């Protein structure tokens, strides 16, 4: 349902993505990992149609995001929870999203309940939200249209342990219902708990991909990550 086919992206003389290829199938969660500056955010922006690839193609449901019919009802995207308008209430943010997707007002209440924001919290302005509350709201916005594909960048950032457990259960439930999920996170233990497959990227290139059993060979995800990124750091630029 998600496919990167030899995607390259350059900014001036800087190669941010270099021949990136991988897929995310229906009913699965793929953890997308790499150190800061590895190219994760660039790849997700290319997938969401916010940046054009210099070469190759990134598609969702067989088409570039920009060519999808009503993409918000097919693909849920959370790239930056802090991008929400601070002067609007949480309910207003979701209501505007629902209106754009042609959804009934009842869907807003369903989503608020799904992400664990109370009525009182929904009436507060987003500028007064904690980071964890912003994340819950951002995930809720991504889920408004009951999408078949989710693209999430650091969705558990700012969540407390209870919130992280909630996020884990939410993602597993969505995958079991057939959703394809691409999940970027620096919380390696949580990725280890929830992901079916792992894609590791460094300096814009895919370093390894597969199930943790295939890649780890007895190592934890953290040790695998450290080993691969250390090898990349020693390689020529």
**How far is Cα 84 from Cα 87, in angstroms, rounded to an integer?**
9
Q: What confidence tens digit (pLDDT) does each residue in 8-33 have?
A: 999 988 999 999 999 999 999 999 99
The strands making up 180-184's β-sheet, listed across from edge to edge, are 75-78, 149-153, 180-184, 28-33, 197-202, 205-210
Q: Note whether 194 and 27 are within 8 A (CB).
A: no
**How far is Cα 155 from Cα 153, in angstroms, rounded to an integer?**
6
Q: Note whether 164 and 192 are within 8 A (CB).
A: no
pLDDT at 231: 65
Mean pLDDT of 183-208: 90
- According to DSSP, the residues that pair with 29 across neighbouring strands are 181
Q: What tokens does 235 get? A: 């390689």
Domain ranges of the chain: 81-146
Mean pLDDT of 133-162: 94
* pTM of the shown model: 0.92
Mean pLDDT of 222-228: 81
- Specify the higher pLDDT residue, 45 or 227: 45
pLDDT at 228: 78
DSSP class of 88? S
Comparing 96-100, 106-110, 117-121, 220-224, the range with the smallest average pLDDT is 220-224
């Amino acid at each position: 349902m998600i496919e990167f086919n030899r995607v390259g992206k350059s900014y001036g003389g800087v190669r941010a993505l270099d021949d990136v290829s991988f897929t995310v199938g229906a009913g699965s969660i793929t953890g997308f990992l790499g150190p800061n500056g590895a190219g994760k955010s660039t790849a997700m922006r290319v997938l969401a149609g916010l940046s054009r690839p210099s070469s190759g193609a990134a598609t969702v449901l067989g088409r570039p995001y920009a060519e999808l019919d009503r993409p918000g009802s097919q693909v849920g995207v959370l790239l930056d929870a802090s991008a929400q308008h601070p002067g609007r209430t949480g309910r207003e943010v979701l209501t505007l999203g629902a209106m754009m997707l042609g959804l009934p007002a009842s869907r807003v209440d369903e989503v608020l309940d799904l992400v664990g924001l109370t009525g009182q919290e929904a009436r507060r302005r987003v500028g007064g939200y904690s980071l964890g509350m912003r994340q819950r709201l951002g995930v809720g916005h991504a889920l408004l249209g009951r999408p078949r594909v989710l693209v999430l960048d650091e969705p558990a950032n700012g969540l407390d342990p209870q919130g992280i457990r909630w996020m884990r259960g939410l993602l597993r439930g969505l995958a079991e219902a057939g959703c394809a999920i691409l999940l970027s996170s620096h919380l390696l233990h949580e990725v280890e708990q929830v992901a079916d497959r792992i894609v590791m990227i460094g300096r814009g290139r895919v370093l390894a991909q597969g199930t943790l059993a295939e890649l780890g060979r007895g190592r934890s995800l953290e040790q695998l990550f450290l080993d691969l990124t250390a090898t990349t750091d020693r390689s020529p630029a």
